[in-house]
Amino acid sequence: MRIIPAIDIINGKCVRLSKGDYSTKKIYNENPLEVAKKFEDYGVQYLHVVDLDGAKSKHLVNHKILYQICVKTNLKIDFGGGIKSDKDIRIAFENGANQITGGSIAVSNKTLFLKWLKKYSSEKIILGADFKDRKIATNGWLSNSETDVLEFIKYYENQGIEYVISTDISKDGMLAGASETIYKEILGASKINLIASGGVSSIKDVENLNMIGCEAVIIGKAIYENKILYTELPKLIEQNA
């Protein structure tokens, strides 16, 4: 299982939210590049970067920070937040993203999302399936749909999606454990590569997600709040490889 630390960006700074609520913003570093370099120094190979300004404004905003991280590290970055047009996705890839995550667009414009899937391949396009009370949320989690998370994933699996990032919004940033029950349900009903996100609070949580079959786990606040130490990352990566 891959270990993927997260960097969320608002106003060019590395932040974390609780349950996706922008009013709970906590700044951890003024310079996301410094954070990315530190992750790399401790053996991290993959990074999850979210443009929260982009998610809220519905278009790409922080691509320059993406470019800086890509140019000055060797990290493989999956990037999301505000990618709503052909121009947005082109800019994201041109600025170094290894993969793109599309969530809101997969709800609001299936035709465009599937066009990207065909053009860039299932290795490059990740489905963002973030949910609250099992319903898919969109636009930086500021809007809710009536689509069940499992139905959403199954639909796109049938269209060729291979990678899915799924976040239980009610757990995100709360350090109270991941949604293992729903992840087990998803993994039992599909063959996608599931990237678990939200609620990870300890090394034990990471081990549990590995045991149930997740392909990767995204870790954010647990690292920033020292629940999982930077110095523990190399061993964690090795043990879950």
40 pLDDT tier (thresholds 50, 70, 90) = very high
Residue 226 contacts by C-beta under 8 Å, 6 or more apart in sequence?
none
Q: What is the CATH number of domain 2-239?
A: 3.20.20.70
Of the residues 8, 53, 168, 205, only one is catalytic, namely 8
Which pLDDT belongs to residue 133?
85
pLDDT band with cut points at 50, 70 and 90 for residue 23: confident
The distance in angstroms from the start CA to the end CA of the chain is 5
Residue 100 has a CB neighbour count (10 Å cut-off) of: 21
Write out pLDDT tens, residues 223-241.
Answer: 999 999 999 999 999 998 8
Mean pLDDT of 166-173: 78
pLDDT score of 173: 62
User: What is the pTM assigned to this prediction?
Assistant: 0.93
Q: Is 130 a catalytic residue?
A: yes
Share of the chain above pLDDT 90, in %: 77
Question: What is the tens place of the pLDDT at every residue in 117-166?
Answer: 999 999 999 999 988 888 888 665 555 777 899 999 999 999 999 999 99
Identify the CA nearest to 190 among candidates 240, 151, 133, 138: 151
Asked about 51 being catalytic, the answer comes back as no
Domain ranges of the chain: 2-239
Tokens 């609780």 identify what position? 18
Q: Which of 51, 78, 88, 130 is catalytic?
A: 130
